[in-house]
Amino acid sequence: MVSANEYYAESKRAVAASKPNLVKEKPVSYNKREPKHYTKEVKVKKN
């Protein structure tokens, strides 16, 4: 199973790849909340 943080990072990379005009990709902050629709479906262990 993919963790929510990995899923979030992948989705950001995909969006950045599909929009070349947005060149800079901000580093993913793992303290940020994941997208709500994703966290409600998948429980992720917090440290």
Q: What is the pLDDT of residues 31-45, one digit of tens each?
A: 555 555 555 555 666
pLDDT at 39: 52
pLDDT tens readout for residues 10-28: 887 777 677 665 555 555 5
Report the 10 Å Cβ neighbour count for 9. 16
Q: By the 8 A CB rule, do 1 and 31 touch?
A: no
What is the domain count for the chain? 1
Domain that holds residue 25: 4-39
The answer to whether position 9 is within a domain reads yes
Is residue 45 situated within a structural domain?
A: no
pTM above 0.85, yes or no: no
Does a structural domain hold residue 22? Answer: yes
Q: Is residue 35 part of a domain?
A: yes
Residue 46 has pLDDT above 60, yes or no: yes
